[in-house]
Structure 1
């Protein structure tokens, strides 16, 4: 599904670009020249994501964490080398490097996957029917789609209701604020298989400790980043981008605060999905995402980009609180960040499974 959707989006970009025509938009001629690179780049990135998920399911945590960032990391290295040695740097070169990096990541992922699976005993297993898989997975598809769409619509709202300056400032603030989500992203990349394993083996106490410890660690890391952003962000923005982007600082602080609050909920949303409450997670995500977009539209026309940022930060807090309360209701697990007494760490470690 990821491969097909990637191809579909890539083809849609190409068709839309060609349909606009060169006279309709001053950028269309430039974009038309890059369509042949954009389409396979999206498809290979989707395949890279599929490989990462397979590795995560097989407890290949190093590969699962490394593959999603391999493409971006390679492009960053290329940009640094090009700037240092004054090599030609263009959109075509960036797209080409991204495509080649995704291809190399796919090769590495497949080689590592073959190495992991080679020693497996070839025993016959009874496969689940496609209808059964679809019945369990369709709420997850809607949940993921609605979450991704809602998280991308804020810049569209700013673009439709504001000026080019608003879009630039909000885009910069969005990138700065999203850096504070890196700790919880790392946690979610590594902890998911452990949730299923420990729940299935009735290790409730250890699972709750694992959820709370990961949420607390991610929140503390995000809080350190937020304090750093509050202390040095304004100076960095003015030094790197100039005074014209000074409005981005306030917006970045609001979005960053939302990320810190969301990190406090840990991986509560994934707990609902993995332990059988997919439809509950779908309904809550759809409701909150829909209300967030409506609130952001109203806030944009009344308070500008600061209002949009406040709407999305509030949404993060509401989503976090909802997920935490639902996990507590259905599974009697406390999955949110909390103060952990250092004196009890030894006692909690005694519950770590020997396997």
Structure 2
């Protein structure tokens, strides 16, 4: 007992001298507009690449004396690839190992301003269009290196995955302004889902491809076309188009996506159910003023044929998109129905 009494004061003194480091706090803010941290599973054959939103709030462990928040990071992990798979017949010959997971996509990696003790951030994102699971992870790190993380999973099960030879989905795209050299984008314009990968139905915001993002080159390499605005005029353009300012984009991160106008109606569009029909639609289309890297000003009901460039992991693909709707105020939203070869 006397030994124990002698030891206890030493332990108390040691505990008093030990600095306990607490991690920052990070939570999702719940509301009807925002997805939560709970897994969401969707089973359907009619796929919409919904524009979803998640809102997070982070603060240092001690608002009065805690270290500043230093970095905010958002990553997307997809399993398997977001690119649609053309399954063999019979399905028993399919080898799952031939469809690897996509590399993690760093959606945002932002250094926060000195003195930041708390932050609220709303993230816009698109649901995947091919069967699989997307895991969105959010992390905040303070000046002492302590990190807090939260994540959620979005699962899609397409009932037509085995039979469809043409990948189809509906998507909502924003637009970024062009012709404003040196003018900074507003927060809303920076978050606009305007940079599009047509095969995946993945739309990226401007901040994901901006010069300040650590993985900008990898993200730019995903982009097939960009939705742009100049005053009331909306267009779709290739990243190689002279009408799009892509200063600093390397040649390896720019795709030559060819675009052609067609005379097809919405009814004609629905009938494009084979690879051959998509290819012939592009062949019969017309380049805008001889420039196949941009469209004419977009109007509701227009059908545009496209031809994506070959990449390191996939060959060139034909497709078509229907401008189902245009909304210009209060924010630009282009609703597209997309068909593309698997």
Provide the TM-score with structure 2 as the length reference: 0.25
Whose radius of gyration is greater, 1 or 2? 2
Higher helix share: 1
